[in-house]
Structure 1
Amino acid sequence: MGFFTDTSICIGCKACEVACKEWNDIPDDGFVFRATSYDNTGSLGASTWRHVAFIEERSLVRAGEEQADDQETGSIDRWLMSSDVCKHCTHAACLDVCPTGALFRTEFGSVVVQADICNGCGYCVPACPYGVIDRRERDGRAFKCTMCYDRQLGGLEPACAKACPTDSIQFGPLDELRARAEERVERLHAEGMPEARLYGADPGDGVGGDGAFFLLLDEPEVYGLPPDPVVTTRDLPGMWRWAAGAALSLTGVVAMSFLRSKR
């Protein structure tokens, strides 16, 4: 199971953010107006599991004559909205580095943090290629989207998908969602939007495909997404093999030195 988020029909209402907080009893994370954007939540974090990003593309235009000659003001030329969330990677590095088993893969394919087992070590935070996982300052434990695991157990769709008024967030079997997304991209291309593309839908990408993928209307970087995400722990097996070989070699050298000293 997974999410398909069609950003082309997101209206930035943030109903998904509110529904996520209400259902999961997530604490307030500030809601500070930053003056540089209409977005009042900023980014994903330990207390923001769904975040509607406002990508406000601005151009500089000359101010009126009543202002200084060299003063310029910003004018928003284009709005892009995208409801971001944990990607629930097929090959999840956060699972590889968790020392306590607090992170686990559910029967629905999502990746969940068990807060009562998390020891706050923070290893999962830098392991995430998307920068999704974060720790709460109050107790240091890690939190992120669970894809409403409890609701799925009860046969319900996640709260964010249920609350979305435009069906920008769609939930269901990944194979069905990917087929639906491909059709949507083809339709947008036919309607004169060649920039439409899928992000995270390819099982052959660096993380084996995402359990939450997106239809974007620009390059991933515009949305603050890495263009080519990879499993950050991909080199660990080789490193462990190298370390084991080095340890065995060192043990052999020490043994030989010990035997020679006995002679």
Structure 2
Amino acid sequence: MTDSQLSGPEPDPAGDAGHAGHPPRVGFFTDTSVCIGCKACEVACKEWNALSEDGFTLTGMSYDNTAGLGASTWRHVAFIEQSAPPVPAPEGRRELPLVQDASQSAGGEFRWLMSSDVCKHCTHAACLDVCPTGSLFRTEFGTVVVQEDICNGCGYCVPACPYGVIEQRPSDGRAFKCTLCYDRLGAGQEPACAKACPTESIQFGPLDELRERAALRVDQLHAAGVPEARLYGHDPTDGVGGDGAFFLLLDEPEVYGLPPDPVVTTRDLPAMWKHAAAAALSLAGGVALSFALPALARGKAQVRR
């Protein structure tokens, strides 16, 4: 495996995976600025993929009862509460108070940042690189899918993911994550979560088209007085070669629980193997020398006799 297959820009991941004449790469663009937190995407994902429930108990952190992505939650809608300065009401309208925190001064207000998170279907997917059984594979659509029937539960993919997306199911140890509804794509349908989203916060389509649409949306928000709007995971030159599922955020990535500068964890494997090989050769040479020197000394002693 070459360095270029593990990191850097990669214009055709499906082609490099061996898919000839494949369709355009597809993915998700999630516009968090229009997410209303309805969780329709979570429900649709669970229903279509027959995923088990993973708790009905509220976490105590807003209205979030799933807490994060996992083996049984492939879409997760985060509710992030932030204190925010009061926004004056338009002229002629009455200003209505928002929820106030007792720890804040009078007039302190909140805003909710809502975001539907999902597997990023990275261009350079470390989970796929480390899988020893071929359970993880790259599809003709450029997405990354787990074949649960040949997963041996080794768990190598879990720490390999820079986003902490993939997880093993406690009941049998096998790994699970979003498949971007691979079965629906094969039938010419869009993923269940995008189909169910009432505000089009989750948009599905060819990745190049989504990137163009996202750039226009950011410009629109900046012109509307939302300078903090930014894209995350769209750049093909970033540490994972760009994501197949990227986001428009209204704050820093860390606020949403996302790493600010994700890097594919297998990027340095070639260099690591080279160093390991050099160390092994040095060790072997040292061992050989430790046997050779005494033998050489004995040979000289016999010659003197």
TM-score (norm 2): 0.79
User: Are 1:214 and 2:250 counterparts?
Assistant: no
Counterpart of 1:118 (choices 145, 148, 151) is 151
Q: How far apart in 2 are the matches of 1:2 and 1:149?
A: 11
Q: 1:34 to 1:253 in 2, by over 3 A?
A: closer
Q: CA deviation at 1:259?
A: 4.5
Task: Name which one, 1 or 2, has greater alpha-carbon Rg.
Answer: 2
Q: CA deviation at 1:32?
A: 1.3
Which residue of structure 2 lines up, in the alignment, with residue 162 of structure 1? 195
Kindly provide the CA deviation profile for residues 47-67 of structure 1, in whole angstroms up to 9, marking residues without a partner as x. Answer: 00000111122489675xxxx
Which residue of structure 2 lines up, in the alignment, with residue 23 of structure 1? 48
Q: CA deviation at 1:91?
A: 0.9
Structure 1 segment 245-256 matched on structure 2, within 5 A: 245-256=278-289
Q: Report if the CA contact (8 A) 1:29-1:41 is conserved.
A: yes
Secondary structure of the 2:183 match is helix
Secondary structure of the 2:67 match is coil
Q: Report if the CA contact (8 A) 2:100-2:110 is conserved.
A: no
Secondary structure of the 2:148 match is coil
User: Are 1:128 and 2:174 counterparts?
Assistant: no
Q: CA deviation at 1:93?
A: 1.0
Q: How far apart in 2 are the matches of 1:137 and 1:76?
A: 41
Which residue of structure 2 lines up, in the alignment, with residue 32 of structure 1? 57
Secondary structure of the 1:116 match is helix
Higher fraction of strand: 1
Which residue of structure 2 lines up, in the alignment, with residue 86 of structure 1? 119
Q: CA deviation at 1:40?
A: 1.6
Which residue of structure 2 lines up, in the alignment, with residue 67 of structure 1? none
Kindly provide the CA deviation profile for residues 148-199 of structure 1, in whole angstroms up to 9, marking residues without a partner as x. Answer: 0111111111100111111110111110000000000000100110110000
> One-letter code of the match for 1:138?
S
Secondary structure of the 1:39 match is coil
Q: CA deviation at 1:249?
A: 2.4
Q: How far apart in 1 are the matches of 2:219 and 2:67?
A: 32
Deviates more, 1:169-178 or 1:250-259: 250-259
User: Are 1:46 and 2:71 counterparts?
Assistant: yes
Structure 1 segment 1-263 matched on structure 2, within 5 A: 1-58=26-83, 77-260=110-293, 261=295, 263=299
TM-score (norm 1): 0.91
> One-letter code of the match for 2:57?
V
Secondary structure of the 1:30 match is coil
Total equivalences in the alignment: 256
Q: How far apart in 1 are the matches of 2:219 and 2:265?
A: 32
> One-letter code of the match for 2:42?
E
Q: 1:35 to 1:250 in 2, by over 3 A?
A: closer
Q: How far apart in 1 are the matches of 2:254 and 2:59?
A: 21
Secondary structure of the 1:57 match is strand
RMSD over aligned CA atoms reads 2.1
In structure 2, list runs of 5 or more residues that go unmatched.
1-25, 85-98, 300-305
Q: Report if the CA contact (8 A) 1:56-1:76 is conserved.
A: no
In structure 1, list runs of 5 or more residues that go unmatched.
64-69
Q: How far apart in 1 are the matches of 2:69 and 2:251?
A: 20
Q: How far apart in 2 are the matches of 1:140 and 1:205?
A: 32
Q: 1:76 to 1:136 in 2, by over 3 A?
A: farther
Q: How far apart in 1 are the matches of 2:181 and 2:104?
A: 49
> One-letter code of the match for 1:97?
V
